Chain A
Amino acid sequence: VSQPTDRHQPRHVDRRDQGMRRQRLVTQAAAGGATALALLFGWVFAQPAPAPAADPGQQKAPAAKKPPATKKPAAKKPAAGTEEDAGLKAPEEAPVEEPPQEEAAPPPDTQSGGS
């Protein structure tokens, strides 16, 4: 006498459901992994370039070939000043050296030199 069971569907239908669940899991895992990778790459490429102070290639004292001067990013506005006063301005008149004096010349008013 066959025993009554609570199986409502044939066995092949049950297997098909299991396969679909497995496939759904794989699809979800792949999508999650792709999202994580995209976020990781986005974060990596969003990082700013290393500051000059952290550049290990520059930690040795003056090499034969000097690196370029530390320049500000070209796209940024100068932190101070305007374009019109950005350069160093020449004097109205250049200094004129006094001719060498054979006689005792009056001393200069002051001295410019290192300090």
Chain B
Amino acid sequence: MTSVRAAPHRAAFPALGTTAVLLVTDGAALADGERLLRAGLAEVDAAYSRFRDDSELVRLAAHEGRATAVSPLLAEALQAALRAAAATDGLVDPTVGQAMIDLGYDRDFALVSAHGHHPSGSTASGASATDSAPAPRPAPGWWRVRLDAETRQVVVPRGVRLDLGSTGKAYAADRAAARVAALGCGVLVSLGGDLATAGPAPEGGWLVGVGDDHRAAAPGDPVVTIRSGALATSSVTQRAWRRGGRAVHHIVDPRTGDVPAPVWRTVTVAARSCVDANAAATAAIVRGDGADAWLDGAGLPARLVGHDGRVVTVGGWRSHA
């Protein structure tokens, strides 16, 4: 006789321009957990949204070139971003903000895609999406950003625009999972498909579908079991639009300021934390050729899907394919 697996208790709501999902092993903790998650994500949005004029990150631009004290949350998110940049040899770089704007990603993507793939045909700055885009330029470089984690003083050089998008959401997932787990239950927090777990896993582990889109599984998408740590997926199939007569997306190669060469379509990585998993997945998309060997060498279990549909698993990812 096989035991019936009890599904975890679930809450989902829109947040940070994507979907937030909370799973808990104890139904009694769901309401409090959701309240903690919503509050935490509101803090994150106020601290480092790129699209809110009143966010701390946007206001930080007015102090460029000068040491400025920032909130503990922004300091921690910046520290996570800079650490991810160092660990990926600069392939995931928070100084790609201007490159993102040059590619046309200058507002919340919900607005960008409200009228088609860049449906309004214009960027927030008024330039037509089909206008000739500015020539891509390499990111200034993450090491130019100075952060003293103890005093929370940060110096952003003149002309450097920060974008914590890649690691910011993952850091928010790690932070929220730890907070909700303090209620005394097992927790999984997913923000747009980047998920972090904390506390004891449910019997049989967390069942997670893996694919191109976090909103819906496609036929043939595998389901994996994880019991701890985190899982993140980067994909060029989402948040894509047209710019200057060509298809572009939200993943930028800091070395060029442009979209990376099309080698991997979707990369899913498991790691100890969601920040690490997200950084590795994004770095793999940017790295292109050789990313599978790089992930394997780092001991990170990963599943890579090429633009031609081939699937490669490395780092101990146990596949049935």
List A residues at the B interface (Cβ < 8 Å): 51-53, 55, 58-62, 66-73, 76, 78-81, 85-100, 105-115
Contact = CB atoms under 8 A, between A and B. Distances in A.
Contacts of B88: 88
Nearest to A54: B137
B147 interface: yes
B86 A88 contact: no
B212 A113 contact: yes
A53 B140 contact: yes
Given A81-B83, A88-B298, A91-B228, A112 B315 contact: no
Contacts of B90: 69-72
B13 interface: no
Given A91-B226, A114-B238, A108 B209 contact: yes
Interface stretch (B2-10, B54-62, B117-125): B2-10
Contacts of B216: 111
Given A105-B223, A109-B206, A67 B215 contact: no
Nearest to A78: B86
A114 B301 contact: no
Contact of B143 (A60, A76, A81): A76
A88 B224 CA distance: 21
Nearest to B84: A88
Interface stretch (B34-42, B45-53, B66-74, B188-196): B188-196
A42 B141 CA distance: 27
Interface in B205-245: 205-217, 221-239
A72 to B, nearest CB: 3
26 contacts: A70-B255, A72-B90, A73-B143, A80-B79, A90-B270, A91-B228, A91-B271, A94-B301, A94-B316, A95-B208, A97-B318, A97-B320, A98-B207, A98-B222, A106-B7, A111-B213, A112-B210, A112-B268, A113-B193, A113-B209, A113-B212, A115-B18, A115-B19, A115-B169, A115-B193, A115-B194
Contact of B318 (A59, A61, A96, A112): A96
Contacts of A111: 190, 193, 208-211, 213-217, 221
Interface in B116-151: 135-143, 145-147, 149
Nearest to A90: B299
A114 B320 contact: no
Interface residues of B, number: 102
Contacts of A55: 138
A55 to B, nearest CB: 7
A58 B139 CA distance: 11
Nearest to B268: A112
Nearest to A105: B223
B300 A58 contact: no
A89 to B, nearest CB: 4
B23 interface: yes
B217 to A, nearest CB: 6
A109 B7 contact: yes
A95 B318 contact: yes
Contacts of A90: 270-272, 298-301, 315
B190 A113 contact: no
A112 B233 contact: yes
Contacts of B86: 72, 78-81, 86
B210 A113 contact: yes
Given A52-B140, A111-B216, A115-B192, A80 B224 contact: no
B301 A113 contact: no
A62 B188 CA distance: 38
A79 B146 CA distance: 6
Given A88-B298, A109-B23, A115-B214, A59 B225 contact: no
